[in-house]
Amino acid sequence: GNSVTQMEGPVTLSEEAFLTINCTYTATGYPSLFWYVQYPGEGLQLLLKATKADDKGSNKGFEATYRKETTSFHLEKGSVQVSDSAVYFCALILSGYALNFGKGTSLLVTP
Amino acid sequence: DGGITQSPKYLFRKEGQNVTLSCEQNLNHDAMYWYRQDPGQGLRLIYYSQIVNDFQKGDIAEGYSVSREKKESFPLTVTSAQKNPTAFYLCASTSGPEQFFGPGTRLTVL
């Protein structure tokens, strides 16, 4: 079946540190890949996406590249801010069905 | 502004009661989804509907029911058969691969 595995948290970083959150997937076809972010008490917001191999999604300083050869979609940011503290979800979708989510990675950025 | 609304934000239920969570969207999306979120579990699919008057069970449908009488609305009923209903419930809609989420309803069973 289809599944997403992402690194367990919580991840604690100092402001301006480099962030990587690992995400790998298993899929029976060619999925689209997503990173969603959830701030405390809120729903999920789409952070970035990639729909085919070698695509790079980017938004608000975050980037992730769709790597078919390693079935990965790692999230990176060069310099995190306190306001980036949230839970990050990696997800995939195959056509005509719902998203498969990873379990989420909690990020805490300290001043 | 287009978007998805869920109500109420917080809901308390006594054991043995059915409760209905509201989800409305004005994005003109065909497909709508209900997810359940538990700490450390990610999101799990309860039900989804790709068209009015049609819906399918997701991974954890037992103890839940839905209806899709209008394109804009996809209410979820948590029945007394759901053994552990305390969770955060998220509704989503889509017209393509990207899903848009509502703000969620936190249900607590007393």
Q: Residues A45-96: pLDDT tens digits?
A: 999 999 999 999 999 999 999 999 999 999 999 999 999 999 999 999 886 6
- Closest residue by Cα to residue B33 from B6, B62, B13, B10: B6
Q: Do A43 and B104 touch (CB under 8 A)?
A: yes
Higher pLDDT, B25 or B98: B25
Tell me the pLDDT band of B33, cut-offs 50, 70 and 90.
very high
What are the residues of chain B with a beta carbon less than 8 Å away from any beta carbon of chain A? 4, 6, 33, 40-45, 48, 50, 58, 90, 92, 97-104, 106
Strand partners of residue A33: A50, A92
Percent of chain B with pLDDT over 70: 99
- Longest alpha-carbon distance in chain B: 38
Tell me the pLDDT band of B51, cut-offs 50, 70 and 90.
very high
Q: Do A43 and B43 touch (CB under 8 A)?
A: no
- Summary mean pLDDT of chain B: 92
A93 contacts in chain B (CB < 8 Å): 97, 99
pLDDT of residue A96: 63
Tell me the pLDDT band of A24, cut-offs 50, 70 and 90.
very high
Cβ atoms within 10 Å, residue A41 = 11
The average pLDDT across B56-74 equals 96
Tell me the pLDDT band of B91, cut-offs 50, 70 and 90.
very high
Tell me the pLDDT band of A9, cut-offs 50, 70 and 90.
confident
The average pLDDT across B89-107 equals 90
Best residue in B4, B43, B45 for a mutation probing chain A (most A CBs within 10 Å): B43
Say which of B41, B44, B101 has its CB closest to residue A43: B101
Q: What are phi and psi of B21, to 5 degrees?
A: -100, 135
pLDDT of residue B86: 94
The average pLDDT across A7-19 equals 94
Distance to chain A for B57, nearest Cα, Å = 11
What residues contact A62, with CB distance under 8 A and at least 6 apart? Answer: A35, A47, A48, A75, A76, A77
The average pLDDT across B70-74 equals 97
User: Does the structure show a pLDDT above 90 at B23?
Assistant: yes
Q: Do A104 and B100 touch (CB under 8 A)?
A: no
Classified as helix, coil or strand, B110 is coil
Q: Do B40 and A99 touch (CB under 8 A)?
A: no
The average pLDDT across B45-66 equals 95
The average pLDDT across B56-63 equals 94
A47 contacts in chain B (CB < 8 Å): none
A95 contacts in chain B (CB < 8 Å): 97
Nearest 5°: CA angle at B88, between B83 and B93? 115
Distance to chain A for B17, nearest Cα, Å = 25
Tell me the pLDDT band of B1, cut-offs 50, 70 and 90.
low
